[in-house]
């Protein structure tokens, strides 16, 4: 298939399925915390705008959560089907970590999710708010265990190898491996940033179409405050993460920088753009800034960054891919910071909700956080190659050894089924976004709330018909 081997198709299949899956948990993490904030503000201020936004985004959260669960199940099965040798080698570490995720996070989320989505008129306000907070905490606990498992594969420690299998000897060292704190912070903040721009984009879409009400304005305002605060924080976390990667995975940094060799004792330049050629062992058409590579990566003007030629060819990551995936991530991050700063300037001029150039930028920035997450994961995972467990097991030794025909058929089926199934789900979720929040302005019915009699919220039936949705939200 296109000159690829079975191993290549297995890697493509895993990359394809994880690319779909990671989008849903990212939005789930951010929306869960956003919902907790909205309900908390409503309980504190009694401003019905927060309640209206809560009901609107809880519907989108429910759809997104369901798709995340379905796509996550497929990911788990692939470890046993396509990567059985990896499971045999490192399953004593990764298996328990994923089990802890189910026992602590998934059970917590599942236990309180029903109360959160369907208990609005059945339980008291404090219990309902507590349920929302528990779901938000559950998403963060899930992130903790998933990132611990993946980080261990990047920087393994706390183990012994006995009879060709990894045996954990220090679980604290396994869990809190050297790259874990940086990767956990980086991913959690990325989820909040991605959600902020998703929320902000939906608000901009409605404002550009003349739908201007307090709920829409509040959406945009909260999203831009989050972008203003968190996007620069993410840049700082990324810097610390890069220093950690330079220490533990220098070949990955060399590939990201497209840096092939050092010249004497000269500091390392930063290659802004170029085309790393793995065969020619050089970065063609390079646009360089002297000294800046050393300054960014070592925080000095005289230290050198390791070069790709210092590593055997078989141990080098694919610089062509990670060079550009990293720059896509960083470029979008800089654009996010700019968007947050522009929003602050417009807020001071009292034109945040009326500046059409800014609203168009906010609209088109909607998927930027998710694209940056995908680019970051490609950088991380491809940059780890040719290792599946860094320094311990090569990717070529981890696959199940299926034939080219088998991998071709299953990959084709995955593509068809995923685009059909999740295409419908994403389409339905975007239909909910286009409807926008329905406010209670002028409604004759009681505002209601947890513990009060009212029309129950049904997240998955919200887009079925406009009249029913309007009356439902008025009851809310």
Of 345, 377, 400, the one marking the end of a domain is 400
pLDDT, average across residues 390-411: 87
pLDDT-derived band at 275, boundaries 50, 70, 90: very high
Total domains present in the chain: 2
pLDDT of residue 448: 44
Residues 116 and 254 occupy one common structural domain: no
Question: Using CA of residue 432, residue 435, residue 436, residue 441, what is the dihedral sign?
Answer: negative
pLDDT-derived band at 459, boundaries 50, 70, 90: very low
pLDDT of residue 458: 45
Q: Is residue 191 part of a domain?
A: no
pLDDT of residue 440: 62
Q: Is residue 159 part of a domain?
A: yes
pLDDT of residue 151: 94
pLDDT-derived band at 433, boundaries 50, 70, 90: confident
pLDDT in tens, 167-185: 999 999 999 999 999 999 9
Decide: pTM greater than 0.75. Answer: yes
Judge whether residue 453 has pLDDT over 80.
no
Q: Is residue 61 part of a domain?
A: yes
Residues 257 and 284 occupy one common structural domain: yes
Q: In terms of Cα–Cα distance, which of 162, 218, 184, 253 is closest to 34?
A: 218
In the beta sheet, which residues pair with residue 282? 277
Residues 6 and 41 occupy one common structural domain: yes
Residues 307 and 427 occupy one common structural domain: no
Counts for the chain of helices (H) and strands (E), in that order? 15, 6
Q: Is residue 190 part of a domain?
A: no
Tell me how far apart the alpha carbons of residues 332 and 234 are, in angstroms, rounded to a whole number. Answer: 12
Q: What are phi and psi of 291, to 5 degrees?
A: 70, -25
The DSSP output letter for 118 is: H
pLDDT in tens, 347-356: 999 999 999 9
| Residue with more model confidence, 446 or 284 | 284
Q: Is residue 207 part of a domain?
A: no
pLDDT, average across residues 447-466: 44
| Strand intervals (E) in 360-473 | 387-389, 393-394
pLDDT-derived band at 437, boundaries 50, 70, 90: confident
pLDDT of residue 68: 84
Judge whether residue 463 has pLDDT over 90.
no
pLDDT of residue 178: 94
Judge whether residue 389 has pLDDT over 50.
yes
Q: In terms of Cα–Cα distance, which of 26, 108, 111 is closest to 61?
A: 26
Q: Is residue 216 part of a domain?
A: no
Residues 122 and 86 occupy one common structural domain: yes
Q: Is residue 18 part of a domain?
A: yes
What lies within 8 Å, CB to CB, of 129 at 6+ separation is: 36, 39, 40, 43, 450
Residues 384 and 426 occupy one common structural domain: no
pLDDT in tens, 298-351: 888 888 888 999 999 999 999 999 999 999 999 999 999 999 999 999 999 999
Q: Is residue 218 part of a domain?
A: no
Residues 358 and 416 occupy one common structural domain: no
Q: In terms of Cα–Cα distance, which of 321, 272, 274 is closest to 292?
A: 272
Residues 239 and 162 occupy one common structural domain: no
Judge whether residue 224 has pLDDT over 80.
yes
Please give the share of the chain, as a percent, with pLDDT higher than 90: 53
What residues make up the domain containing 275? 225-400
Helix (H, G, I), strand (E, B) or coil at 122: coil
pLDDT of residue 2: 58
How many residues belong to the chain? 476
Tell me how far apart the alpha carbons of residues 180 and 155 are, in angstroms, rounded to a whole number. Answer: 8
Judge whether residue 414 has pLDDT over 60.
yes
pLDDT of residue 472: 34
pLDDT of residue 262: 86
Residues 410 and 275 occupy one common structural domain: no
pLDDT, average across residues 122-139: 91
| CB-based contact 197:188 (threshold 8 Å) | no
pLDDT in tens, 10-28: 888 888 888 888 888 899 9
Of 400, 423, 457, the one marking the end of a domain is 400
pLDDT-derived band at 415, boundaries 50, 70, 90: confident
Residues 240 and 142 occupy one common structural domain: no
Judge whether residue 450 has pLDDT over 70.
no
Tell me how far apart the alpha carbons of residues 49 and 60 are, in angstroms, rounded to a whole number. Answer: 17
Residues 3 and 142 occupy one common structural domain: yes
Residues 411 and 362 occupy one common structural domain: no
């Amino acid at each position: 298939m296109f000159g690829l081997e079975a191993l290549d198709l297995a890697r493509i299949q895993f990359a394809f399925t994880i690319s779909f899956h990671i989008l849903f948990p990212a939005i789930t993490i951010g929306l869960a915390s956003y919902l907790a904030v909205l309900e908390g503000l409503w309980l504190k201020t009694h401003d019905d705008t927060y309640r209206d936004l809560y009901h609107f985004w809880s519907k989108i959260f429910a759809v997104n959560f369901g798709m995340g669960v379905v796509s996550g199940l497929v990911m788990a099965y692939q470890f046993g089907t396509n990567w059985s040798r990896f499971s045999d080698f490192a399953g004593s570490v990764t298996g328990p970590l994923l089990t802890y995720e189910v026992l602590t996070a998934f059970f917590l989320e599942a236990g309180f999710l029903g109360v959160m989505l369907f208990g609005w008129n059945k339980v008291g306000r404090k219990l309902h708010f507590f349920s929302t907070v528990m779901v938000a905490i559950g998403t963060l606990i899930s992130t903790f265990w998933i990132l611990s498992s993946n980080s261990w594969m990047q920087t393994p420690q706390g183990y012994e190898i006995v009879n060709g299998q990894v045996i954990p000897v220090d679980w604290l060292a396994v869990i809190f491996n050297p790259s874990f704190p940086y990767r956990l912070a980086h991913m959690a903040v990325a989820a909040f940033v991605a959600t902020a721009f998703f929320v902000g984009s939906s608000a901009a879409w409605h404002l550009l179409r003349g739908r201007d009400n307090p709920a829409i304005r509040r959406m945009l305002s909260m999203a831009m405050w989050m972008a203003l605060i968190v996007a620069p924080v993410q840049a700082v976390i990324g810097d610390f993460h890069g220093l950690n990667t330079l220490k533990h995975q220098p070949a990955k940094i060399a590939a990201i920088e497209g840096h092939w060799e050092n010249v004497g004792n000269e500091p390392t330049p930063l290659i802004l753009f170029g085309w790393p050629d793995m065969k020619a062992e050089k970065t063609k058409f390079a646009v360089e800034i002297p000294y800046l590579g050393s300054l960014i990566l070592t925080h000095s003007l005289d230290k050198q960054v390791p070069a790709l030629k210092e590593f055997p060819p078989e141990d080098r990551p694919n610089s062509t891919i990670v060079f550009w995936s990293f720059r896509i991530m960083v470029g979008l991050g800089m654009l996010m910071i700019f968007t947050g700063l522009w929003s602050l300037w417009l807020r001071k001029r009292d034109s945040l909700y009326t500046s059409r150039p800014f609203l168009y930028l906010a609209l088109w920035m909607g998927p930027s956080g998710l694209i940056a997450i995908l680019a970051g994961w490609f950088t991380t995972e491809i940059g780890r190659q040719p290792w599946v467990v860094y320094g311990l097991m090569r990717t070529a030794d981890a696959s199940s050894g299926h034939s080219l025909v088998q991998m071709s058929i299953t990959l084709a089926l995955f593509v068809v089924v995923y685009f059909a199934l999740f295409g419908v789900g994403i389409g339905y979720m975007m239909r909910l976004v286009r409807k926008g929040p329905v406010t209670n302005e002028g409604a004759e019915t009681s505002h209601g709330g947890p513990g009060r009699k009212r029309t129950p919220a049904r997240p998955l039936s919200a887009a079925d018909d406009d009249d029913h949705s309007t009356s439902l939200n008025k009851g809310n």
